[in-house]
Amino acid sequence: MARGIERREIFKDDKDRISFLKRLTVILEETQTQCYAWALIPNHLLVRTGATPLSKVMRRLMTGHAVTFNKRHRRSGHLFQNRYKSVVCERDPYLLELVRYIHLNPIRAGQVKDLKELDRYRWSGHSAILGCHKNPLIPVKLNQSNKPGKKNERDRRDQSDESLAEKTVKDVLLHFGDTLRVARQRYRQFVKDGVDQGQRPELQGGGLIRSQSGNKRSLVEMKKEKHERSDRRILGSGEFVSEVLRESGEDLHKRSLTPPSLEDIAVKVGNYFNLPLAVLGSKSRSRNISKARSVFCLLAAKKAGYTQAEIGDYLNLSRIGARNSILRGERILDMCDAVWGKV
């Protein structure tokens, strides 16, 4: 889940939404990340990651969108409100509930008035599952041959292969029926049954109280030995929570699963050097600004794992310029460590 800073819009028009979905499509396919549900109000995604960690997927998505959005609308500074919020979910009991919950967001937000309008709404995955709109997460496959009628074996194989987005929709519909028509009818009825369920706080994050739908009394009456382990970043049974914590090798209460955003790092660097945020991306060669820029680049690359291209886009630097700033940052490691301790 991601929101605009101060709850401002992160999509001003349909061009922004289309740009975001195109970027998401490429990232999902390249990282083999399945997206079961999505809605752009605000930005909600239900994904199953592959070999690429979620933090890298989201970093590419959010940083890329912020840079494109700022250039298009001639603005600078933060776009997203701090880091995105992520909740690890136990698949079996929560998959379909979360698909329904996310796809009903446009109704809860007042963007559409009822399920009939939602069926045709372009900016959530519900209409794509029903087949009312072409799924925007399916990559555009370009014909590699410029000559019509002459397609080599690779072209034919590429066209017959299903994209990950198509397979993901089938994964959802298989829970509802063996034929496409029946599965879509039952899926729509399932979504319809959820229209009157409200905000569903128990699906917005883990924790004991939320897992009981906000019912504190039931927890008070429950014997202590029957309390399951919980974590606000994990949605699932006590056994699942314990397994995730064990596999992560750390207590998620003490450490975040996700790295700080470039905006977070920039703010801390600016505060440390007593500089306004905008000067980091300026062309100034001032010694103090140059030092601050080098600290930012090193922290973003070495501590948070951003690529030189992402850092360069954020600061309006070339990739070589970002690399040189990182190298300069390595000469002042003590200062970098001092700033990182405040991020």
pLDDT of residue 22: 95
Residue 342 has pLDDT above 70, yes or no: no
- Give the count of beta carbons closer than 10 Å to the beta carbon of residue 221: 8
SS3 assignment, position 174 = coil
Residue 88 carries which side chain, given as an amino acid letter? V
CB of 84 closer than 8 Å to CB of 90: no
User: From 3.40.50.300, 3.30.70.1290, 3.30.70.100, 3.10.20.70, which CATH number describes the 5-197 domain?
Assistant: 3.30.70.1290
- The class of domain 262-340 in CATH terms is mainly alpha
Model's pTM, two decimal places?
0.63
Per-residue pLDDT of 119-132, as tens digits, reads 999 999 999 999 99
Residue carrying the six token digits 């029957």: 226
**149 φ, ψ to 5°?**
85, -10
**155 φ, ψ to 5°?**
-60, -45
Residue 153 has pLDDT above 80, yes or no: no
User: What is the mean predicted confidence (pLDDT) over 286-294?
Assistant: 90
Domain boundaries, the chain: 5-197, 201-248, 262-340
Backbone region of residue 274 per phi and psi (left: phi > 0; alpha: psi in -120 to 50; beta: other values)? left
Residue 283 has pLDDT above 70, yes or no: yes
